[in-house]
Amino acid sequence: MTSERANESSEFPVDRVRQTFDDEQDDKTGVNHEPSEDAASHQATVIVRGETVRDQNPNPPAKDSSAKDKEESRSKEVSEANFKMQSRLPALDDDGDVGVQKEQLVIRDGKADLAFTGTLLASAAPPSTGQERWEEYRIYETNGGKHVFSNVTRSVFAEEQDHHKAEVFEPAPSSVPSQLLRSARDLTRSRPLAWTDAAVTFFGYGPLAKALYRELGDQFEEHIS
């Protein structure tokens, strides 16, 4: 009886010591004999000198929205004709017609086009740098003394149509019946409505509009004393 207990007590510590030694060796070397299936399937693990480093973001970051827009722009089909126009900006195809009396045709979206004999007084367009879409401003004068204002919006992309807007300004009528057709606001003005007023109403005072007005001299400037 005594000898059996002695044997048990002498063998048990040896097993515990061996197990403890093996565990310590495993801790030092970083060896993991039984990794869990969940951990292996959900995260990447790298062992560096006994330390576990997890890959916190295995998926690549999403593309920035602006970069995505640029990529989509590059993938669009380019209109060859409009690309040539864009490359020549701020020069326009009809710059040589400024001051020349000829038959004119001004396109309008949703309305009848304007056909008349007259002169292109001035035109303006932005510089070509970085312009995928741009506007072109023009002012015409007809032989009958009317003025035509044109705004064309273009794009280098084939899938985007050009947009055309235009308005006609007629001089203040002189007859009484015609005067009665004018609005009370026009009749109460300190001076008759001039075509320059109508041009500002149509084009505004943006940088491109001011470039257009400079082509016509100083009549669009406000003179003060």
Is 114 a domain residue? yes
The model's pLDDT over 17-56, given as tens digits with 9 standing for 90+, comes to 344 444 554 554 444 545 445 544 444 444 445 444 455 5
Q: Hey, what are 80's tokens?
A: 């060859």
DSSP-assigned states of every residue in 170-186: -PPP-SHHHHHTS-HHH
CA nearest neighbour of 202 among 138, 127, 154: 138
- pLDDT confidence bin for 14, thresholds 50/70/90: very low
Is 4 a domain residue? no
**Could you give the 3-state DSSP secondary structure of residue 133?**
strand
Average pLDDT for 122-145? 95
Range of the domain at 168: 77-214
- Counting the structural domains of the chain, the total is 1
Is 18 a domain residue? no
Average pLDDT for 101-115? 97
Is 7 a domain residue? no
Q: Give me the phi and psi of 150, to 5 degrees please.
A: -125, 135
Is 189 a domain residue? yes
- pLDDT confidence bin for 130, thresholds 50/70/90: confident
For residue 93, the one-letter residue type is D
Is 181 a domain residue? yes
